[in-house]
Amino acid sequence: MTGGRTLVAGVGNIFLGDDGFGVETVRRLVLAGVPDGVDVVDVGVRGVHLAYQLLDGYGTVVLVDAASRGGAPGTVYLIEAQAGQVEPSGPAALDGHRMGPDAVLALLATLSASTGGVPPERVLVVGCEPASLEEGIGLSAPVTAGVEQAVRLIRRVVSGEAVGDEAVSEGAVEEGGQAAGVEPSDRKAPSC
């Protein structure tokens, strides 16, 4: 684990079923407790706010979100992510309510250069394979089970016991394969 403070940010839209995974996970993480020096926030769909918060000098950032990677619903992933240069993909790239972790990380270099903010040294994503991203409130049964796995995993990460690129399913740890970046999100959140 790198030095400095750690930020754990729950990302997602609670009105789109399993997309609320990140929000529910950080809610339960706060109840379970975290060590000193760890900030836990519910970012929800506020992608621009998250992008600026990532520049506050955190050593490690853990983004928690639904992640469609092809596994069984409820599979929890630990992914070592990398920030990169902005690759414009049209107006939606800067829509604060549609920015998944991939878009937020793509903005870091540009925002850092224009604001003088300090990007994190390390970015991890704790993701969970969704069963449904359809409109509706509440998590599916497999993703609900994945929340508890994710809380345990995040507590290991912030304590320095876990490394990137793992997939966790029903208590087993498997190699994450090609998990060096964040997969683009198909999330479509309503504008406020």
- Each domain of the chain, given as residue ranges in start order, spans 6-175
Dist CA 60 CA 58 (whole Å): 5
Contacts of 182 (CB under 8 A, 6+ apart): 63, 67, 79, 81, 100, 101, 102, 105, 125
Would you say domain 6-175 falls under CATH 3.40.50.1450? Answer: yes
- pLDDT one-digit tens code per residue, 18-65: 999 999 999 999 999 999 999 999 888 877 778 878 888 898 999 999
pTM for the complete prediction? 0.75
- pLDDT one-digit tens code per residue, 89-128: 444 445 544 566 677 777 777 787 778 788 888 989 999 9
Name the token pair of 35: 């060590």
